[in-house]
Chains A and B, each alone.
Chain A
Amino acid sequence: MAAKDSPLKQFEIVPYSNTEVGSYDISFTNSSLSMVITVAVITLFLTLTVNPRSIIPSRMQLISELMYNFIAQLLSDTVGNNGKKYFPFVFSLFMFVLIGNMVGMVPYQFTFTSHIIVTFALAAVVFIGVTILGFVNHGIKFFTFFYIPGVPFYMHPLLIPIEVISYLSRPISLSVRLFANMLAGHTLLKVFAGFVVAMPFFTGALPLAFIVALTGLEILIAFLQAYVFAILTCLYINDAYHLH
């Protein structure tokens, strides 16, 4: 298959400007445009739908309120009362990933969550923030996080490295989960779209029907991955408060 028709072509970054600061290229690209659209959609929706004077919400306001309550509930369920401080961050993270995924579902729109560098940066912010939080809350005792109580002493030389590795792999698993889901889903859609064109006569309707079904699945995954990202962030924050 020619590179032009590759299912991975949709992930290529196209610069719209050629901006360089020092030796760094910070060109405005299709990825950046997607991020800007995402942020614009979120901020405009959450601001315009909410009427601060209304006691009875409109349908659109109800959506904003549902989002708010959904994340607030998630945080209070996993972290408890300590979680209120992190609500704006977790909410922003959830909305950014969710709407980023949804914007990516619009045809011809770029999906920035399908780029490992973006998801890894988000996961790294969570990881570093949570680690700092752990040290602030527990000081040097934070290292007892890797020590599992109630295990025979001769197991510790094995278990402590495993715990350390699992802790360090958190940002990788967090970022790769989102990246891989988006990559796989969008690639699959493109592959089936290629079949629609390639198959003779009207047999192309079959993969087309499959694409319709897959699009529904992808929208579900878009929501699910944003939810997973948010809930794991909540769990990591909880770990920084309660070591075990």
Chain B
Amino acid sequence: MPQLNPEFFVSQLFWLVVTFSFLFVFLWRVSLPRIGNVLEKRERKITEDLTAAKELQAEASQIQEEIENQLKQARTDASEMIKSSSIALQDKAQTELKKLDKELETKIDESAKAIEKSKSESVSQIQKQIHEITKLTLSKVATFNVSDDEIKKAVSNSERSIN
């Protein structure tokens, strides 16, 4: 078996020491610190990012809370404004209505008066005309004179019966 041949034992040991020492020193001083640094850097970056994300999340939730509060405030403000303005409008409308009522009443009064006036005027006009027509008719038909007072009495009598 070639493994048990001591001819090359020294050579193999020598080259083993040379190569393994080189490997050990190289890995110890160069390769492993590099990999270790990369891993450490990544770990640090991840934890940094995570803490930053947590902070941002907290900030975001705070902002959301603020927004919600503002919205709530705005809603209550708006409902209050609506309430107060509707009350004011109602008040105003009532006063306006009252004013209108009053105006209308006075107008109605005035018109009623005017109607009354024109009615009495036209009634007196009609009476006068009836009187004259009666007088004229009588003067044509009858040979005697009838006094104005008697005609008036007769007309008013017949008026009553009509009414």
Contact = CB atoms under 8 A, between A and B. Distances in A.
A65 B39 contact: yes
Interface string B16-59: 11011011101110111011111101100100000000000000
A241 interface: no
A47 B8 contact: no
B38 A13 contact: no
Contact of B23 (A24, A39, A64): A39
Contacts of A91: 27, 32
A47 B31 contact: yes
Nearest to A187: B1
Interface string A84-126: 0001110110011000000000000000101111100110000
Measured as residues with beta carbon below 8 angstroms from the partner, the interface class of chain B is 35 or more
Contacts of A51: 38
Measured as residues with beta carbon below 8 angstroms from the partner, the interface class of chain A is 35 or more
A135 interface: no
Nearest to A10: B2
Contact of B13 (A15, A64, A117): A117
B15 A28 contact: yes
Given A47-B30, A95-B23, A183-B3, A26 B35 contact: no
B144 interface: no
Contacts of A95: 23, 27
A155 B45 CA distance: 58
A31 B38 contact: no
A32 B8 CA distance: 11
B10 A24 contact: yes
A43 B31 contact: yes
B34 A27 contact: no
A42 B26 CA distance: 10
A231 B98 CA distance: 104
Nearest to B49: A55
A47 to B, nearest CB: 6
A217 B90 CA distance: 96
Nearest to B14: A26
Interface in A14-37: 15, 24-29, 31-32, 35-36
A225 interface: no
Given A11-B2, A32-B15, A43-B26, A117 B9 contact: yes
Contacts of B23: 39, 42-43, 92, 95-96
B153 to A, nearest CB: 129
Interface of A: 8-9, 11-13, 15, 24-29, 31-32, 35-36, 38-39, 42-43, 46-47, 50-52, 54-55, 57, 61, 64-65, 68-69, 87-89, 91-92, 95-96, 112, 114-118, 121-122, 179, 183
Given A43-B27, A64-B35, 8 more contacts: A24-B10, A26-B14, A32-B19, A52-B37, A65-B38, A91-B27, A92-B27, A121-B16
Interface of B: 1-5, 7-17, 19-20, 22-24, 26-28, 30-32, 34-39, 41-42, 45
19 contacts: A8-B2, A11-B2, A25-B10, A26-B10, A26-B15, A27-B11, A32-B19, A35-B15, A36-B19, A43-B23, A43-B30, A52-B37, A89-B24, A91-B27, A92-B20, A115-B3, A116-B4, A118-B13, A122-B20
